[in-house]
A and B are shown apart, each in its own frame.
Chain A
């Protein structure tokens, strides 16, 4: 009998306690945020989408070689003498035309290994994390600043140079028999 009334009392009092707690929470500010309008501040060293500052890139291919998942594809063309490619921001002289610089971010594992070898610190991870796409191809980001015509022209230029050099070589090949010590000069 005593237990019966204790049960009733416990039932009622625990319900009221619970109701008190939930009522307090009615006025607690929400811990969730309105996501696209308000965003959670990101930590300082977040690793998100890769970005390449092409002005600084010298086309050294080190990032592509270090990438564990091979998501970076670089293709370069040597410049012909007389062309001025400018300098990078830390004073390195550029010598290669970058004709292809693609990062397939769908493959990227965000390991940041590509960032460290870069001599000019032109590849780095940004805090952009909203880049979902409907087509997988759209995740293949292209960073090349040259237009298609320019790329073609650069390639042609280099091919021409090579051809010229080959011609010179061929021309020099005959005297080389007479003078084997002479080495062909590059560029």
Chain B
């Protein structure tokens, strides 16, 4: 929809495609600035501190000040690092996260690419991130970076399995992989969200609720693990690995990792929102419908999607400042002994319910 709007406005499809591709970048930058500030404030207040207070009201300009600072930093490449791969790795990591934004339905009018395979596409491009992290770890020629990278790859690959199982549950219930269709199926009120059984008819809806809830929790845990956040932050565990795979990076390259991490947080939250919590749909209905202004609805949808996404980003921060880091064996036990069997049984039960 937004593509046609720009194509009509500019008369050029290529130009409008470029604009559509750039819009998520604008969103990422604004969101990262906000999330960075939020992370500091949330962490500070949860520890009874104040956090940044100097730059602007309650320090809200602090991320911008940091951005300016980081732009001026020297770009250091270690002497024994592999120069080519060292420079390519942050780009690859960022590209992986940025590419995922193409399929995220921000509102019914603003979807970068309305892919039929949106859910799988996000999984696929996030595997590029793994390759980028491994590349960074190897190219740094640093044992901490390498250990961090290998841990990260092992972790992301392991936690992709429960994620895929839960995605399969959703596919069985909804019959689609398209994130926009998924959101459209959950329209109306929050009773139609898939976490509450979706738009399935009759008693099945109520039978589905507990299993959808389990699926939601499993999905959220594994998505937190996939974005390398505490309590699953072994790849960048600052107390043991300095900073993990981005130990050797500085300046703008480091900033790209920062951007990628925060963007990834939003991607996994957006995935959870799109699958279980109605996507861009409002929980109560739209003001645009009430006062009969149709163009207001997409803006409201964008608002709701961002709010839901940011809420789950907030929950990730909340978890980060609540839980200590897991040990490697605990991490793997959680995935292989708990999440995967639960997700698998969940999948079986949901498919059985849907056959009935």
Chain A directly contacts chain B within the complex, with at least one CB pair under 8 Å: yes
Q: Is A2 an interface residue (CB 8 A)?
A: no
Interface residues of B toward A: which range? 10 to 19
Alpha-carbon distance between A21 and B53 when the two chains are bound, in angstroms: 24
- Structural contact, B48 and A25, CB atoms closer than 8 A: yes
Q: Are B322 and A22 in contact (CB under 8 A)?
A: yes
Within 8 A of B (CB), among A1-58: 7-8, 11-12, 15, 18-19, 21-23, 25-32, 34
From 10 to 61 in chain B, residues with beta carbon under 8 angstroms from any chain A beta carbon are 42, 44-50, 53
Q: Is the CB of B42 within 8 A of A21?
A: no
| B323 contacts A18, C-beta separation under 8 Å | yes
Contact in complex: A21, B49 (CB < 8 Å): no
Residues of A within 8 A of B338 (CB): 7-8, 11
Contacts of A12 in B (CB 8 A): 217
B318 at the interface (CB under 8 A from A): yes
Q: Does B307 contact A (CB under 8 A)?
A: no
Say yes or no for B319: interface residue by CB 8 A criterion: yes
Residues in A neighbouring B42, C-beta threshold 8 A: 26
State whether A30 touches B318 (Cβ < 8 A): no
Smallest CB separation, A73 vs chain B (Å): 41
Q: How far is the CA of A23 from the CA of B319 in the complex (A)?
A: 10
A7–B330 CA distance with the chains assembled, in angstroms: 12
B158 to chain A, nearest CB (A): 17
- On whether the beta carbons of A32 and B323 are closer than 8 Å, the reply is no
Q: How many residues of A contact B (CB 8 A)?
A: 19
| B122 to A: closest C-beta gap in Å | 26
Closest B residue to A16 by beta carbon equals B322
Cβ–Cβ < 8 Å partners of A18 in chain B? 322-323
Interface assignment of B190: CB less than 8 Å from any CB of chain A: no
> Please, which residue of chain A has its CB at the minimum distance from the CB of B341?
A4
The CA-CA distance from A137 to B147 in the complex, in Å, is 50
Q: Which residues of A are found within 8 Å of B45, using beta-carbon distances?
A: 25-28, 30
**Are the C-beta atoms of A30 and B323 separated by less than 8 Å?**
no
- Please state if A19 and B53 are interface contacts (CB–CB under 8 Å): no
The one of B49, B318, B319, B342 in contact with A32, judged by C-beta atoms closer than 8 angstroms, is B49
Q: Which residues of A contact B336 (CB under 8 A)?
A: none
CB-based contact B50/A19 at 8 Å: no
- Chain B residues near A30 (CB-CB < 8 A): 44-45, 48-50
Across the two chains, which residue of chain A brings its CB closest to B338? Answer: A8
Contact digits for B172-215, partner A, Cβ 8 Å, 1 yes 0 no: 00000000000000000000000000000000000000000000
A19 CA to B342 CA in the complex, in Å?
A: 23
CB neighbours (8 Å) of B322 from chain A are 15, 18-19, 21-22
Could you tell me if B318 and A25 are in contact, using CB atoms closer than 8 angstroms? no
Alpha-carbon distance between A26 and B42 when the two chains are bound, in angstroms: 7
B6 within 8 A of A: no
Is B47 a contact of A25 with CB atoms below 8 Å? yes
Contact A34 B319 (CB under 8 A): no
Report how far A48 CA is from B68 CA in the complex, Å: 39
Bound together, the chains give a CA A26 to CA B46 distance in angstroms of: 5
Chain B residues, Cβ within 8 Å of A26? 42, 45-46
> Is B321 positioned at the interface, with any CB of A under 8 Å from its CB?
yes
> Is the pair B318, A23 in contact by a Cβ cutoff of 8 Å?
yes
CB distance from B53 to the nearest CB of A (A): 6
Residues of A within 8 A of B318 (CB): 19, 22-23
* Complex CA distance for A23 and B317, rounded to whole angstroms: 11
Chain B contacts for A21, CB-based, 8 A:
322
Distance (Å) between the CB of B52 and the closest chain A CB? 11
**Does B50 lie within 8 Å of A32, measured CB to CB?**
yes
A21–B49 CA distance with the chains assembled, in angstroms? 15
* In the bound complex, CA of A32 to CA of B49 (Å): 6
**In the complex, residue of chain A having the shortest beta-carbon distance to the beta carbon of B320:** A22
A2 CB to nearest chain B CB (Å): 15
Asked if A32 and B48 make an inter-chain contact with CB atoms under 8 angstroms apart, the answer reads yes
- Residue interface mask A106-123, B partner, CB < 8 A = 1: 000000000000000000
The minimal Cβ–Cβ distance linking B320 to chain A, given in whole angstroms, is 10
CB proximity to A under 8 Å, residues B286-315: none
Q: How far is the CB of A19 from chain B (nearest CB, A)?
A: 5
Q: Which of A22, A26, A27 has the most CB of B within 10 A?
A: A22
Q: Contact check, B53 vs A28: say whether CB atoms are below 8 A apart.
A: no
Nearest B-chain residue to A28, judged by Cβ = B48
Q: How far is B45's CA from A19's CA once the two chains are assembled, in angstroms?
A: 14
- Which residue, of A11, A18, A26, A31, has the highest number of chain B Cβ atoms within 10 A? A26
Identity of the chain B residue whose Cβ is nearest the Cβ of A34 in the assembled complex:
B53
Query: In the complex, A31→B50 CA distance in Å?
Result: 8
Q: Is the CB of A22 within 8 A of B48?
A: no
Q: State which of B44, B50, B323 has its C-beta within 8 Å of the C-beta of A34.
A: B50
Residues of A within 8 A of B (CB): 7-8, 11-12, 15, 18-19, 21-23, 25-32, 34
A selection of 15 A-B contacts at a CB cut-off of 8 Å is: A11-B338, A19-B322, A25-B46, A25-B48, A26-B45, A26-B46, A27-B45, A28-B48, A30-B45, A30-B49, A30-B50, A32-B49, A32-B50, A34-B50, A34-B53
